[in-house]
Chain A
Amino acid sequence: MNRYDHDRSIIKACALLVILFAIIQINASAAEAKKFPVPKVEMKKGAIPEKPEKVTLAKNKDGNWRVYVEGKELPIRGAGGAVLPGMLEQLKAAGGNCVRTWGIGTLEDKVAGDERFIDRAYRVGIKVVPGIWVQHERHGFNYDDPASINKQREHVRDCVRKYKNHPAVLVWGLGNEMEGPTSATGSVKVFKEVEELAKIIKEEDPNHPIMTVIASSTPAKVKSVMEYCPSIDILGINTYSSASGTGESLTATGWSKPFAVTEFGVSGHWEVQKTSWGAPYEATSQEKARSFYASHTLVFDTNKGKELCLGTFAFLWGWKQECTSTWYGMYLPTMEKLPQVDAMTKAWTGEWPKNRCPKIKELTSPVYGKTCKPGRAQTAYLEVKDPDGDEMSFTWAMMAESTDLKVGGERESTPPSFPELIQKGDGPDCIFKSPEKTGNYRIFVTVHDGKGGAATANFPFRVE
């Protein structure tokens, strides 16, 4: 190779790199363009004051317990999550006013505007229930070890000192299902320690009530909180299919302080009917929307015990893989909202949003919840309409059934997908080929209205 050829090779290589870079950039902006923009909401400007807003609990004129911020009544219209950039703005636009986190670290996460989560929440006008994580025995924490206990107590004290003067703080969320999510009674040792931690918070901060959160309103657990945790002001209950009856079950157990439903929405994947091979049937987004609406209105406005209910936190304001990629999330990663969000807007404000998501009537297939042979053509059909008459587009996908299932909402990996097996998937009907490899699979469909609204459904099937 002479000098000339050498130079030409370098020029060629550089040109290739430039083209490659340009392609990457174009793809990146295309992916970016697929995301729907963050809604514009009114923002508080200027420096954030280092002054707490005094929060109290009292009954309103109708005899219902409420949170009061500087003397102003605030029925909790809350959500869990909202930590992904743009989600606080979405929550505000949908009529929400409060968000809860599970850990204190979230308050520092950078969100839209490159601001800290807690600062952005203040600017958007969303109050925050900062979660202070209380360790779980199932994760190996030893409640008999004085050193570990002291370390946890100091952590709680530090958290409170750090954030107690932030004006976005509403209530402390002390622990989440630390008593053991699958236990019927909960651990007495843990409840006794929760009381010690609550006393520390009270010593440090006279301005914000304390809530602890347990999994379900099982009488034995509630009685333990009553007996061992007198410093707790509010009981938070994470509950799914039984959310609407929370007030009744708490009052029947003798609970008389305020409560909040701290996680609710669709039936949990452990609560629903399953196929013969154990795959749970997931509700369509429309069925989920019904459940969100009914659970909130019944527990907060109608059912026995509503007078103790401060409000609810819909789960999950964002998206995550838990059993499936769509089971709990109220949004898609494209920032498109699902009908569950519309349902909460209706429940919170009494009005539908301007643009409504498509409504799924039914997803059908000859292999819905059934077994089929490998490598055969199969069909599925989605019956759906858009309440606003928007033109709809469709995305079909096939994924392996998740095998990385965890307890208590811990992080799960996303199973592989098989786009090559979707043979026709650009409309409400789909033709797909069953995989050659035997195993458990799921077909997903997403409908988009092109204006930031979407709807989802899926069904499991098995190849044998």
Chain B
Amino acid sequence: MKHFIAKLSLCITVAAIFVTIGNIAKAEDDNRSFKLTAKAWDLLAEKKYDEALKVIETCEKLYGAQAKEMQKSLKEYPKNDPKEETEKYWALNDVGTCMYIKGEVLVQKGDKAAAIKAYKSCMNDYGYCQCWDPKGWFWKPAEAAKKKVVELEFDDE
């Protein structure tokens, strides 16, 4: 009986370790920048604004520094052809896009001042970010953010 209990404990411990490793791996997988960005878009569409802001914060925290480094290394938009040339700057693309989404979320929440700040961060900190549009081309969030800032300022007049 003693033997059986020891074996059972060992099995449970091993299983728990596997589950934990699995969870860590899944969490790491879910925290990849492109997954966070996709999640932020989905939450914006579902109007789950506070959850979207949390996801964006995670993305910025994990990859913001790397994204800024990538931005500093560039003098112009990376080439779109081949697509991989643009995708090399994955952190910049995803964090920059997240900043744009943050602006959209904050507009929806009615916080114009914070939205302008987020859009300006997209323009100034991650200006060469690009986002793949499923229609078949790269879209430039910083350009769209620039338009949003002008629109928000126009609305105040």
A343 and B146 alpha carbons, distance in the complex (Å): 18
A244 within 8 A of B: yes
Contact B154 A248 (CB under 8 A): no
B150 within 8 A of A: yes
Of A273, A286, A293, which is within 8 A of B150 by CB? A293
A291 within 8 A of B: yes
Contact A294 B150 (CB under 8 A): yes
Contact B155 A248 (CB under 8 A): no
B57 within 8 A of A: no
Contact B154 A294 (CB under 8 A): yes
| A window 403-455: CB within 8 A of B | none
Contact A290 B146 (CB under 8 A): no
Min CB gap B154→A, angstroms: 5
Contact B154 A245 (CB under 8 A): no
| A window 286-308: CB within 8 A of B | 286, 289-291, 293-295, 297-298, 302-303
Min CB gap A183→B, angstroms: 13
- CB contacts (< 8 Å) of B147 on chain A: these are 244, 291, 294-295, 298
B151 within 8 A of A: yes
Chain B interface: which size bin?
A: 10 to 19
Number of residues in A with C-beta < 8 Å to the partner? 19
Closest to B151 in A: A290
Closest to B140 in A: A245
Residues 138-150 of chain B, each 1 if its beta carbon lies under 8 Å from chain A, else 0: 0010010011101
- CB contacts (< 8 Å) of A293 on chain B: these are 150-151, 154
- CB contacts (< 8 Å) of A352 on chain B: these are 157
Min CB gap B82→A, angstroms: 15
Of A245, A273, A291, which is within 8 A of B151 by CB? A291
Contact B155 A290 (CB under 8 A): yes
| B window 76-115: CB within 8 A of A | 77
Contact B143 A245 (CB under 8 A): yes
Min CB gap A90→B, angstroms: 21
A245 and B140 alpha carbons, distance in the complex (Å): 9
Contact A294 B143 (CB under 8 A): no
A343 and B151 alpha carbons, distance in the complex (Å): 11
Closest to A244 in B: B147
Min CB gap A69→B, angstroms: 30
Min CB gap A232→B, angstroms: 25
A298 and B149 alpha carbons, distance in the complex (Å): 11
- Chain A contact surface mostly: helix
A95 and B45 alpha carbons, distance in the complex (Å): 39
A248 and B128 alpha carbons, distance in the complex (Å): 13
- CB contacts (< 8 Å) of A244 on chain B: these are 143, 146-147
A303 and B143 alpha carbons, distance in the complex (Å): 9
Of A273, A303, A343, which is within 8 A of B154 by CB? A343
| A window 259-294: CB within 8 A of B | 273, 286, 289-291, 293-294
Contact A298 B154 (CB under 8 A): no
- CB contacts (< 8 Å) of B150 on chain A: these are 290, 293-294, 297-298
Min CB gap A370→B, angstroms: 13
A298 and B77 alpha carbons, distance in the complex (Å): 19
A346 and B154 alpha carbons, distance in the complex (Å): 10
Min CB gap B71→A, angstroms: 17
Most buried by A among B77, B146, B147: B147
Contact A298 B146 (CB under 8 A): yes
Min CB gap A404→B, angstroms: 25
Closest to A291 in B: B151
Min CB gap A226→B, angstroms: 18
- CB contacts (< 8 Å) of A302 on chain B: these are 146
A198 and B148 alpha carbons, distance in the complex (Å): 39
- CB contacts (< 8 Å) of A290 on chain B: these are 150-152, 154-155
- CB contacts (< 8 Å) of B148 on chain A: these are 294
- CB contacts (< 8 Å) of B154 on chain A: these are 289-290, 293-294, 343, 346
Min CB gap A301→B, angstroms: 10
Closest to A296 in B: B150
Min CB gap A174→B, angstroms: 28
- CB contacts (< 8 Å) of B157 on chain A: these are 346, 352
A343 and B148 alpha carbons, distance in the complex (Å): 15
- CB contacts (< 8 Å) of B146 on chain A: these are 244, 298, 302-303
A223 and B155 alpha carbons, distance in the complex (Å): 38
- List 6 A-B pairs, minimum CB-CB distance, nearest first: A290-B151, A294-B150, A294-B151, A294-B147, A293-B154, A245-B143
11 A-B residue pairs with CB within 8 Å = A252-B77, A290-B150, A290-B154, A290-B155, A291-B151, A293-B151, A294-B154, A297-B150, A298-B146, A343-B154, A346-B154
- Assuming A245-B143, A286-B155, A346-B157, what are 15 further A-B pairs, CB within 8 angstroms? A244-B143, A244-B147, A248-B143, A252-B77, A290-B150, A290-B152, A291-B147, A293-B154, A294-B148, A294-B154, A298-B147, A298-B150, A303-B146, A343-B154, A352-B157
